[in-house]
Structure 1
Amino acid sequence: MKDFLQTVEVQRWDDHRFYHHSRINQSLHFLSAVCFVIAYGMLFVEPAWAALLAWGVSMTTRQAGHFFFEPRGYDHVNDASDAHKEAIKVGYNIRRKIVLLAVWAAIPVLLWLQPSVFGLIEPSTDFMGYAHDLGIAWLALGAGGLVFRVLQLCFTQSVMTGLAWGYKIITDPFHDIKMYHRAPLWLLRGQLIDPMDHVSHATHARHG
């Protein structure tokens, strides 16, 4: 259990120091995390609407932070190129995210054009029914994307890595609230990029 939790912490630390330098990205992650926690609560009573909130607000704000605001140049804090960081990313790197988001965007179009999904489900007859079907489809996509990457990591790296990443993803909203709740304040003060002094200190301590 100790090794498992340590693996989770290493993944969290690497995720933060490599991919969350922008204060805008951090702030969007804070907003995303709050909405995800709300969606978790809704999951037990209205799973379709929980998925609509999770994908429609939480995931869009979270991924917008990565795609539009996170610096993609050379990372001087970690002495790593963007290509290197993308290559070693445990979870969904930009290329994998594009594929996942393409499927996400295609689902509402499919449901609009084929409400029965070629006879697989009972077709909706009004907008609320369409929204419900969309939410369930997005919920399935989220669960499928999580399980797929966990299994992929189990086979390509190790079972520990895969399970730790799955646990990390599920609990990330709670961690992100703790980690990034001050980011909007730094942003209001005009700080667009986190200086990552804590990362530099940790790196120097490790190699010192």
Structure 2
Amino acid sequence: MNDFFRTLSVQRWDDHRYYHHSRINQALHLLSAISFVVAYALLFVDPVAAALLAWLVAMTSRQAGHFFFEPKGYDHVNRATHEHKEDIKVGYNLRRKVVLMALWAAAPLLLWFDRSLFGLMTPSAGFEGFARQVGMVWLWLGAGGLLFRTVHLFFIADVRTGLVWMTKVLTDPFHDILLYWRAPLHLLRGELIDPMGRVDQRA
């Protein structure tokens, strides 16, 4: 278990120091984390509503931070290129995220043209029924995306790496709240990039 938690700590540290330099990205991760925590609670009451909240607010804000605000040039703090960081990313790098988000965006379009989703679902009437069908597909997509990458890591790395990554993803919302709750305050002070002083010290 000590090795498990040590690996979890390393994955979290690498995720922060490599991929969260932008204070805007950090602030969006805070919004995302709070939304995910609410979605977790909703899972026990209304899983479809939880999926709608998770994808429409939590995932879009989270990925917008990475795609639009995170610097993609040479990382002087970690002495690494963006391409190198993409290659060593344990979870979903930007290329994989594009595929995942494309599937997310495609789900409503597929349901619009075929409310039964090729016979996999019972068609429902009205906008609310359509929205709940979309939420159900997104729930499957989220669970499938998590399990797919976890099992993929079993083969390209090892079982522990996959299980640690899955644990990290599921607990990231709670960890991100603790890590980035000050990000909006830094933005109000005009600081757009985290100086990453702790990274320099650790390096």
TM range (shorter): over 0.9
| Cα distance in 1, alignment partners of residues 182 and 154 from structure 2 | 35
TM-superposed CA distance for 1:117, in Å, is: 1.0
Is residue 64 of structure 2 the alignment partner of residue 82 of structure 1? Answer: no
| Cα distance in 2, alignment partners of residues 119 and 4 from structure 1 | 42
| Cα distance in 1, alignment partners of residues 160 and 197 from structure 2 | 30
Matched residue, 1:206: none
Q: Percent identity?
A: 65
Is residue 132 of structure 2 the alignment partner of residue 139 of structure 1? Answer: no
SS at match of 1:78: coil
SS at match of 2:115: coil
Q: How many residues align?
A: 203
Matched residue, 2:14: 14
TM-superposed CA distance for 1:118, in Å, is: 2.0
Within a 5 Å distance, the mapping from 1:22-171 to structure 2 comes to: 22-171=22-171
| Cα distance in 2, alignment partners of residues 146 and 17 from structure 1 | 23
SS at match of 2:92: coil
| Cα distance in 1, alignment partners of residues 22 and 120 from structure 2 | 43
The two structures, once aligned, show a CA RMSD in angstroms of 0.5
Amino acid at match of 2:131: A
| Cα distance in 2, alignment partners of residues 49 and 179 from structure 1 | 27
TM-superposed CA distance for 1:119, in Å, is: 2.0
Tell which deviates more after alignment, 174-183 or 122-131.
122-131
SS at match of 2:177: helix
- Describe the superposition over 1:52-110 as per-residue Cα deviations: whole angstroms up to 9, x where unpaired: 00000000000000000000000000000000000000000000000000000000001
TM-score (norm 2): 0.99
TM-score (norm 1): 0.97
- Describe the superposition over 1:156-185 as per-residue Cα deviations: whole angstroms up to 9, x where unpaired: 001110000000000000000000000000
Structure 1: state its 5+ residue gaps: 204-208
Amino acid at match of 1:117: L
- Describe the superposition over 1:105-134 as per-residue Cα deviations: whole angstroms up to 9, x where unpaired: 000001111101122211011111111111
| Cα distance in 2, alignment partners of residues 18 and 117 from structure 1 | 39
